[in-house]
Amino acid sequence: MASALGDIKILDLTDPLGHYAGYLLANLGAEVTKVEPPGGDPSRRWEPLLPDTPEIEAGMQFLLMNVGKKGITLDIRAHEGKDTFLKLLEETDVLLQSWSREEASALGFDSTELRKQFPNLINASVTGWGLYGPYASLAYSDIVSLAMAGVMNLSGFAEGPPTQLPDNQGFHCASLNLAAGVVAAILERDSSGIAQDVEVSMHESLLMAEETAMQTADIRGIDRERTGGTSGVIGIKLPGMGLYSAEDGWVYAMAAGIAGAGFAGLLELMDLLGDSIADELRQEPYASVMAEFSNSAAVFRLLGDPEKLKEIEDVFAEADVLVTRFFQKYPKEQLYVEGQKLRLLIGPVNGPKELSESEQLNYRNWFRTVSDPGRGRELRYPGAPWQLEATPAILSRPAPLLGEHNEEMFTSVGLTESDLKALSENGVI
């Protein structure tokens, strides 16, 4: 089957920050080879581990981010390893790596040197802070970047401290941008014949997650607050907006504002379910206040009138008690299904099991089952974030076993069996 990047060869030397970029490019059909140190990538040993599997092959994070790739081991710091790596680069279109400028220079692979030796190579870097600036050589992690990019400042409840996001969202955000940059560089090389470097900073990648927070501070002098289970940019709880407890879990509702059916649609849902709370909310003072101030933009206009704002907030709070009582009576799936009939924006807060069984995802064949003989099982993976009509996403192979493709890759660039034996004995592969 044809694939979008079927003629592209990529060496992936990124740390876990960039693994998802290689995964995405492999889904597009590129031949991506994960290059690990002889002892293996650290994420091979990260919990959770696949049961009944040797630890070095069991890290589920490694499996998830490296499915579809080939895998080799190579110590590029050793003299023999460096020579072998240079031979591999002769056959490579794209190099993915996470080196600082100092690290690249120490390895002998700084950008200028690579450009001289390999003028057609796209050298793509993803690091915590980028390659330049006062932070460029500092250590980084997902959680540090989430904090310093301001994302954590907006996460959590207004009355509590900032909270972290689950897993490695900063890594994935940076990897998405790296993959996009690589595709753009490939297109430019195909058009002009000129290869170029690509540089991605996780810190900068995360700044977009703040959306208008910086502009709101710059232009209006207002610092965005954490809103927790509510919605909006000023921390004021609009009835029908935010997180609500349902009979069997949680739902997130956007039943106010200008999207969907709004607060009127929420009252219609109550009517549809035969709930008398709708009658209470159609009484004053709720009816007139919700008609005039049921979106954040209207509330913004009251920021200069604290007395009126306090009056409106009190009505909101009373109305939200009734809305909360309504949601608590019904299962989250019923609220979602019946709400959709009215174009009402209510989403059940799903867990992993519910996502795995999702009618929508399974109808679209989003999950991919990959045979993994080396680990003695079939594994089901999440799919790609896009669908291409003529060149659909593919996962052609399981995540590599440690050094699985050493012989194939190294002999393809002229190494002999005796060369491989010597490299192995010297701990280079």
Q: Give percent helix, percent strand, percent coil of the chain, each to the nearest 5.
A: 45, 15, 40
Indicate whether 97 pLDDT > 90: yes
In the block, which residue shows the tokens 């790296």?
178
**Is 386 exposed, middle or buried, given 0-12, 13-18 or 19+ CB atoms closer than 10 A?**
exposed
Average pLDDT over residues 161-169: 86
Contact by Cβ (8 Å): 296, 234: yes
pLDDT of residue 1: 65
Distance CA 49, CA 56 (A): 9
Average pLDDT over residues 256-280: 91
Q: Which residue has the higher pLDDT, 184 or 289?
A: 184
Catalytic residue check, 190: no
Of 15, 52, 110, 167, which is the active-site residue?
167
CA neighbor of 262 nearest in space, from 231, 218, 284: 231
The dihedral formed by the CA atoms of 86, 90, 91 and 95, expressed in degrees to the nearest 10: 60
Q: What percent of the chain has pLDDT over 70?
A: 97
Q: Indicate the average pLDDT of the chain.
A: 91
Instruction: Categorize the per-residue pLDDT at 278 as very low, low, confident or very high, splitting at 50, 70 and 90.
Output: very high
DSSP structure class, residue 95: E
User: Where do the domains of the chain lie, and which CATH numbers do they carry?
Assistant: 9-208+360-425 (3.40.50.10540), 241-349 (3.30.1540.10)
- Contacting residues for 378 by C-beta, under 8 A, at least 6 apart: 369, 370, 371, 372
pLDDT of residue 225: 74
Specify the range with the lowest mean pLDDT, choosing from 18-32, 113-127, 201-215, 237-251.
201-215
Indicate whether 79 pLDDT > 70: yes
Contact by Cβ (8 Å): 32, 69: yes
β-strands 198-201, 122-127: how paired? parallel
pLDDT of residue 402: 98
Indicate whether 152 pLDDT > 60: yes
Q: Which residue has the higher pLDDT, 309 or 258?
A: 309
Tokens in use for 61?
């994070």
Indicate whether 36 pLDDT > 90: yes
Amino acid 327 reads F
The angle subtended at Cα 96 by Cα 125 and Cα 87, nearest 5°, is 125
pLDDT of residue 344: 95
Q: Please, how many CA atoms are within 13 Å of residue 361, restricted to the half-sphere of its CB?
A: 16
Instruction: Categorize the per-residue pLDDT at 82 as very low, low, confident or very high, splitting at 50, 70 and 90.
Output: very high
Instruction: Categorize the per-residue pLDDT at 42 as very low, low, confident or very high, splitting at 50, 70 and 90.
Output: very high
Instruction: Categorize the per-residue pLDDT at 176 as very low, low, confident or very high, splitting at 50, 70 and 90.
Output: very high
Contact by Cβ (8 Å): 102, 154: no
User: DSSP letter string over 23-46?
Assistant: HHHHHTT-EEEEEE-TT--GGGGP
Indicate whether 228 pLDDT > 70: yes
48 prior amide bond cis, ω within 30: yes
Average pLDDT over residues 212-231: 71
pLDDT of residue 148: 84
pLDDT of residue 73: 98
Specify the range with the lowest mean pLDDT, choosing from 118-122, 164-168, 321-325.
164-168
Distance CA 342, CA 368 (A): 34
Average pLDDT over residues 312-338: 95
pLDDT tens, position by position, 345-379: 999 999 999 999 999 999 999 999 999 999 999 99
Instruction: Categorize the per-residue pLDDT at 154 as very low, low, confident or very high, splitting at 50, 70 and 90.
Output: confident
pLDDT of residue 196: 97
pLDDT of residue 232: 57
pLDDT of residue 229: 66
Count the neighbouring beta carbons within 10 Å of the beta carbon of residue 323.
25
Instruction: Categorize the per-residue pLDDT at 230 as very low, low, confident or very high, splitting at 50, 70 and 90.
Output: low
- Global pTM exceeds 0.85: yes
pLDDT of residue 174: 96
Farthest CA pair distance, the chain:
88
β-strands 249-254, 241-246: how paired? antiparallel
Contact by Cβ (8 Å): 231, 242: yes
Specify the range with the lowest mean pLDDT, choosing from 108-112, 130-134, 383-387.
383-387
Distance CA 388, CA 6 (A): 14
